[in-house]
Structure 1
Amino acid sequence: MKKIALGLALTFLSVPAIAQTTVESCNRTVTFDTPPKAAVSNDVNLTEMMLVLGLRDRMVGYTGISGWKTLDAEMREGVAELPELASKYPSKEVLIGADADFFFAGWNYGMKVGGEVTPETLEPFGIKVYELTESCIHIGDKPKASLQDLYNDLLNLGKIFGVEDTAHDLVAAYKLELDRIAATVPAGEEPLRVFVYDSGEDKPFTAGRYAMPTALIEAAGGVNVMDDFEKSWATVDWETVVEKDPDMVVIVNYGEVTADQKRDFMKHNPALANIAAVKNDRFVVLDYVEATPGPRNLKAIGKLTEAFWGE
């Protein structure tokens, strides 16, 4: 009996320990014993991050897209085999009912501070949460928005799902593309002053210091006129926009109000008539999925660079 017990003990000791993976998610350290097998992502940009890393077969669905946005042909193909579990923010019951073991979301990207769905409320049900880096400003301090926010999320997802080589190769390719675009920005020019118009007529909803468009604009040789606005995505008043007098307006295209309608509103509003961008008809459109952190950010920088400095 002693020999059998000793043999069993040695057998267990010889089994290699499962390597844990630890990542930083906003102000939390999250540990994964094994890669998730039943992931859910919220919003179109976060879902695209999962897809570009080749993780569709690790997903049981996505949330938060059709309630606000439409999918282009590329995105429809990417999620063709996946169900949309909730058209807007998911409830806790939706995620539990899908037998999810992982939720990729952010603050105001599927979760609200003090809301029903948070890392703390999902933890008892075995659902780990990784938070979008850009959104961390809603629960604490972080540096201003940069492309490092995107790189950080891709590399962390790579670690979580065991596809680190894919993530590193992708980030390296993005950095090379960024260098290529940067070489087309005229040297010695004053940065173009840019305002981001997301939505709203009474008051505009815009991108502040901590929102991704700030980083995209800077990479294209501009400066967000709301860089001193200590917010991510938030509302300001039109008087502030007039005072800032941007040279260019970036319109974020999504939802029921089209980009053309937003542009027409600004061009036909007498209170905005003296803004340089309005007088000179200088507008450029970014789709929502280009303006928020995700794989299409590099395309967005190229589009902005051409609009800022092209013929």
Structure 2
Amino acid sequence: MKPTTLALGLALAANTAIAETTVQSCNRTVTFDEPPKAAISNDVNLTEMMLVLGLADRMVGYTGISGWKTLDEDMRAGVQQLPELSAKYPSKEVLVGADADFYFAGWNYGMKVGGEVTPETLEPFGIKVYELTESCIHIGDKPKASMGDMYNDLLNLGRIFGVEERAQMLVQGYKAELAEITSGLNPSDEPLRVFVYDSGEDTPFTAGRYAMPTALIEAAGGVNIMDDFKKSWATVTWEEVVDRNPEVIVIVNYGDVTAEQKRDFMVNNPAFADLDAVKNDRFVVLEYVEATPGPRNIKAVRKLAHGFWGPAASVGN
């Protein structure tokens, strides 16, 4: 007996009703009955992950960009149809008021431990949260930062929004490009000692073991001199930097103080005169969106490789 159209429709509806997607988000498992339709992302790098997956039409806005950073031409084009709902971290009222059903953020990327906006405080309003993998160290243990952190987020977002094939293709492409870059490197036996200078003059704010630059630097043939600093982004002392004598300084460019001003501060300060990086004028600038987890990480590795090994390094075009 052939099934009727009604029977087929009921069977399809039943299958759809029980279809669920479950992903790991830091120390939580989050289950989605259907892909989100009114998503909000916080920060420029997380928003770019949404855009590169083609999810702009599933978003009702973004937050946390203009209060600290500016958008380049590519980014402006991607979000031109979307409102910025909050210049810095959004309040719970902003997210609820936008009728959001999904918030892509991280700890210190739009949420603070014990703050007003957390997965627990948003749950009663039907807003599910996916947390940036790199940021999970703020609420528990995780391995050292790796390129896999960024890949993991793209793949999980692909599953959440039902664009898993696109996510897989992107990740495969990124891995292939990274392999092409690193296969052309011919570093010395000892990786270059690298310091990440984010900001600060009295004390430097830098990337520790769990921050993305550690993975980017390693991929390019260096080692973060703060690799044993068991933090993500945090403050150290200048004495520690001087003692570890970096051969290259990576400046993160964003905010009111320009990369050139940060470089000038180090070059013109007698306390840093004996640093190998300063003596040899070896500085590499990464934009904030390149230094934090997101689609521009591969470009960042390429830029670092050129900066570490010079034009002689065969790292593609």
TM-score for the superposition, normalised by structure 2: 0.94
1:4 is matched with none
Aligned twin of 2:314: none
Q: How does 1:12-161 map to 2 (within 5 A)?
A: 15-17=13-15, 18=17, 19-161=19-161
In the alignment, which residue of structure 2 is the partner of 1:200? 200
Partner of 2:243: 243
Measured in 2, the distance between the counterparts of 1:140 and 1:26 equals: 8
Shift of 1:10: 11
Would you say 1:287 and 2:287 are equivalent positions?
yes
For 1:134-184, what per-residue CA distance to the aligned partner results, in whole angstroms no more than 9, with x for missing partners?
Answer: 000000000000000000000000000000000000000000001000012
1:104-124 deviations in whole A, cap 9, x for unaligned? 000000000000000000000
What is the match of residue 299 of structure 2? 299
CA-atom RMSD in angstroms? 1.5
Gaps of 5+ in 1: 1-7
Deviation at 1:270, TM superposition (A): 1.0
1-structure distance, mates of 2:50, 2:118: 20
Q: Which one-letter code corresponds to 1:129 in the other structure?
A: V
Q: 1:226-278: CA deviations, max 9, x gaps?
A: 00000000000000000010000000000000000000000111111111101
Distance in 2, matches of 1:173 and 1:10, equals 39
Whole-Å separation in 2 of the counterparts to 1:250 and 1:261: 13
Contact residue 40 and residue 59 of structure 2 kept, 8 A = yes
User: Which amino acid in the other structure matches residue 110 of structure 2?
Assistant: G
Q: Is the 8 A contact 2:263 2:283 kept in 1?
A: yes
Q: 1:138 & 1:61 partners in 2: Cα distance?
A: 26
**Alpha carbons of structure 1 residues 271 and 158: separation in structure 2 relative to 1, 3 Å:** same
Cα distance change on mapping 1:237 and 1:127 into 2, 3 Å = same
* 1:202 partner letter: D
Structure-2 separation of matches of 1:273 and 1:24: 47
Q: Aligned letter for 2:107?
A: W
Tell me how far apart the structure 1 counterparts of residues 68 and 308 of structure 2 sit (CA, whole Å). 29
Please report how far the alpha carbon of residue 16 of structure 1 lies from its aligned counterpart in structure 2 after TM superposition: 2.1
The TM-score normalised by the length of structure 1 is 0.95
> Number of residues paired by the alignment?
304
Distance in 2 between residues matched to 1:64 and 1:175, nearest whole Å: 29
Q: Distance in 2 between matches of 1:269 and 1:309?
A: 26
Q: What is the CA-CA distance between 1:189 and the residue it aligns to?
A: 3.2
Aligned AA for 2:300?
A
Instruction: Provide the C-alpha distance between the structure 1 equivalents of 2:67 and 2:221, rounded to a whole number of angstroms.
Output: 34
| Shift in CA distance, 100/221, structure 1 to aligned 2, threshold 3 Å | same
Aligned-partner Cα distance in 2 for 1:224–1:232: 12
Q: Which amino acid aligns with 1:118?
A: T
Aligned position for 2:275: 275
Q: Residues 181, 32 of structure 1: CA spacing in aligned structure 2 closer, same or farther, 3 A cutoff?
A: same
What residue in structure 1 maps to residue 265 of structure 2? 265
Classify the secondary structure of the residue corresponding to 2:14.
coil
One-letter code of the match for 1:297? N
- Is the contact made by 2:187 and 2:221 (CA closer than 8 Å) also made in structure 1? no
Provide the rounded CA distance (Å) in 2 between the counterparts of 1:188 and 1:262. 28
**Contact 2:187/2:309 (8 A) holds in 1:** no
Aligned equivalents of 1:68, 1:133: Cα separation in 2 = 22
Could you tell me which runs of 5 or more consecutive residues in structure 2 were left unpaired when the two chains were aligned.
1-5, 312-317
